[in-house]
Structures are given as structure tokens and as C-alpha cells.
Amino acid sequence: MKSAVLQLAAFGGLPLFPQPVHVGQPNLTDRELLLSDLENVLKSGHLTNHGPRVKSFEQAVSRVCGAKHCVAICNATTALQIAARALQFHGEVIVPAFTFIATAHAMEWIGLTPVFADVTEDTHTLDPASVEACLSPRTSAIVPVHLWGHVCDVDSLARIADRCSLKMLFDSSHAFGCRSGGKSVGVFGDAEVFSFHATKFVHAVEGGAIVTNSDDLADRCRRLRAFGISGLTEVSDAGINGKMHELSAAAGLRSIASLPEILSANQRNRQLYERVVSHLNGIRLLACPDGTETNSQYVVAVIDESHFGLSRDQLVALLRAEGVFARSYFMPGCHRSSPYRDAAPGIHQRVPLPVTERLLQKVLQLPTGLATTAEDILRIGGLISFAHRNATEIRRQYSLRMGRTRFHEADPSGTHDSSLREAG
């Protein structure tokens, strides 16, 4: 552990973690079993086109979330697009400004206009009052996000949707295996979309799924993911190739089988993080909302610079230099990202976003999952505590260097190559 500020890697010292620990490190359990599963797929000769493992994966997802139908898709972004097309979205759709950019991009890509609403301070999910302020005659749908596995205020949003005859499609990328009010995520709205990207709680290396209780919607989504083909020689819809292949499905099935083990590790990690930071002023872990059971996929900390002594960005830079690859999702905010910030005023943002603006400066995410050990967390906690105790001198060193600090040699952000950034 560091005993002097100049030993910090940001200022030239050796990193505490030569091999970095990541936010979103893939959860891998028994590699030999996974390799055997993949080998069996290759031996079968059935690699894609609605094979038996995709069907088994769909059944497993349906069991976890309690939805009648699951339609496996190649990734969650494509799943959002297929679901939006199947639900016949048009014109404007209301999305949170504080979310991964893919939520907005998925809508923009198929010709819709994402309109950004604010989120709540307590849950970081879509604020129903802000949604109300965003409504217009062109609004056709609401696309809430169960961020960090925190379930949205489903009832309030459903009342708005019902009153205004709007469709509601939940981006549930962070929320597989979560519950609220005794109900599993997967049964809310017209449909929900899960991500099974490699960084997620349960993953298929790359993949997504649409879940719904509607027979008609599920049938249309199945056609749309396969070019709109409805029979051997019939095409009934203008679909695309959104199919999940058998190798991804096999990886997904192996991951779902490990769900209890991953959940237990996430919960243990969160409790340990709570213990190592709870005594520090100016940093707190975001609490799970009452009545919600979360997968604890993300350990989200909120930094109050006036009490902690360092800004969120200064702390993230310090941690990343040490090999703790913390993140600052979702800078700079959807509304401040191209093409949305460059559009005519009022197109994408028509209400103030004060909570989003604050969160963009205060929130960070810490490594967790199966790859993060208790020893790792104790060392990370020690670093954060050291930074808190020595905040005045650290700020002075930042000032002397005009904010320029050293990067960890494995840090993709140090290359300024956006292609190397981890997904959200």
C-alpha cells in the first residue's frame, strides 16, 4: 500500500495492480465445461439458424424472468431496434439522458427521434415527472432503462403510457435476474430487452433478447430477426439478420447455470466495498431501492467533492493509474453527444436535466464480479482511503502538473483510442 503521495502511480510510482482489475470483467466459471459445450456445438454441425441451443437459451431466459416468450437476438442494440419496429414506434420516443448511448442510438438508427428526460436522484432511473414534460403530439413510446439493475418506477410510467396511449419498451440490459414488488424484470411494459454482452452479469459473450407476454409481438419479433421470412418461400416483413448463433447460446446457457454463483460473488463484493468506504466522508455507495432485488452487477459510488476532497474525475484518474480501471459512466451524457447536441434546439432536449448533469460529475463504478477478489477490494478500499486522507496534497500535485498524470500502461484511455473503450 502507498505511504506517500509521490508513490501514487499517477505521479510516477509503481501501480498497485500491474495486472489491472476491470469494471465489466467477464464472469467465467468452469472453462473446461464451456469449452466442452462449444466443442459439442461444432461437432453438431448446426451453428446458426434457430438451432437447439438457441431454443434452450430462450427457454432458460423465460424461466428466469417469468415471461411467456423470449426471442434471442445477436445483441441488445439490435434487439431494441427489432422490438421498436415490431411495436410500430414512430415519431418521438422518450429515453433517459443518463444511460449508455446505445439506448438512444438504437432509436435514432431506425429513424425515430429520441427525446431526453431526466432521472431520479435516488435510483438513476427515468423520472416520470420529466417524462410528462417531454410529451408531445409526436410521442409514440417511452423507453425506460432499469439502470444498474434498479427497477424503474414502473407503475407511474405505466399510468402515463396508458393515459396517453403510448407503447412502453424497457431497456433491461443491466437487470437480468432482478425483481421489484415481487415481480421479475421481464414482465413489464409491452416488452423488455436484455443484454448478454460479455460485460454483463450473465453473458453469451455477445447477445441480447426480447422478452414479452404477447404472442403476436413475439411472432413478429421472430420474423423480423430473420429477414422477415415467414415460410419456406414467404417473406412477410422487412426484417434483418438479428439471429443469435449456437456458440453464443451455448455460452449463455453455461452462464445462466452459474447465475447463483455470480450473484453470490456480486453480493459479497458489494458488502465488502460498503465496509471499506462507509467510514469515509464524501463517498457513498448507491443503495438498492426498497422493494427491489438487484443482481449487484455494478458497484456505483457517488462522490461529493466538497467532503471527499477530490473530484470524481481526479479519483478515477488516480485509481486507473494504479490499475483499478474504475469508470465514469455515462460521460458526457446522451444529450451532449453527437449527433444529439448538434441538432436544432428542442429536437432532443426540451426540458432541463439537472439530476443527469449532477450525476455525470459525481458517479463512478468500481470493479466487481467473479474476477474481483476480496483482497482486491481491500486494496482498492485502502487506495480510496489514502486518497481521502491525502486529498490536499494530491490536489496540489495535480495542480503542479496542470492535471496531467501518468496512465497505467494497459489503460486504453491513455491511448486516446476510442475503439478500445469498454462497452457500457
* HSE-up of residue 422 (Cα within 13 Å, Cβ side): 21
pLDDT at 280: 98
Would you place residue 421 in the very low, low, confident or very high pLDDT band (cuts 50, 70, 90)? Answer: very low
Q: Where are the beta strands (DSSP E) in 152-257?
A: 167-171, 179-180, 183-184, 191-195, 208-212
Q: Are 317 and 343 in contact (CB under 8 A)?
A: no
pLDDT at 231: 84
Calpha distance 273→117 (Å, rounded): 31
> Domain locations in the chain?
5-24+259-326+367-413, 31-257
pLDDT at 424: 56
Which grid coordinates are listed for 95? 429515453
CATH T-level assignment (fold) for domain 31-257: Aspartate Aminotransferase; domain 2 (3.40.640)
Write the pLDDT tens digit of every residue in 236-289: 889 999 999 999 999 999 999 999 999 999 999 999 999 999 999 999 999 998
Which grid coordinates are listed for 160? 402515463
pLDDT at 232: 80
Write the pLDDT tens digit of every residue in 139-154: 999 999 999 999 999 9
Write the pLDDT tens digit of every residue in 74-117: 999 999 999 999 999 999 999 999 999 999 999 999 999 999 99
pLDDT at 85: 98
Would you place residue 30 in the very low, low, confident or very high pLDDT band (cuts 50, 70, 90)? Answer: confident
Calpha distance 202→390 (Å, rounded): 38
- 372 phi/psi in degrees, rounded to 5: -100, 120
Cβ of 85: how many Cβ atoms within 10 Å? 19
Would you place residue 377 in the very low, low, confident or very high pLDDT band (cuts 50, 70, 90)? Answer: very high
Mean pLDDT (the chain, rounded): 95
pLDDT at 233: 82
Pairing of strands 324-325, 292-293: unpaired
Of 214, 74, 190, nearest to 140 by C-alpha is: 190
Check whether 47 has a pLDDT greater than 70.
yes
pTM to 2 decimal places: 0.95
* Greater model confidence, 338 or 60: 60
* Greater model confidence, 300 or 423: 300
Pairing of strands 299-303, 139-142: unpaired
Average pLDDT score over residue span 206-212: 98
Write the pLDDT tens digit of every residue in 182-202: 999 999 999 999 999 999 999
Check whether 413 has a pLDDT greater than 90.
no
Would you place residue 208 in the very low, low, confident or very high pLDDT band (cuts 50, 70, 90)? Answer: very high
Instruction: Say how many residues make up the chain.
Output: 424
Average pLDDT score over residue span 220-236: 91
pLDDT at 103: 98
Average pLDDT score over residue span 382-391: 98
Would you place residue 418 in the very low, low, confident or very high pLDDT band (cuts 50, 70, 90)? Answer: very low
Candidates 1.20.59.10, 3.40.50.720, 3.90.1150.10, 3.10.20.90; CATH matching 5-24+259-326+367-413: 3.90.1150.10
Q: Which residue has the cell 474525475?
A: 313
Name residue 258's amino acid.
S
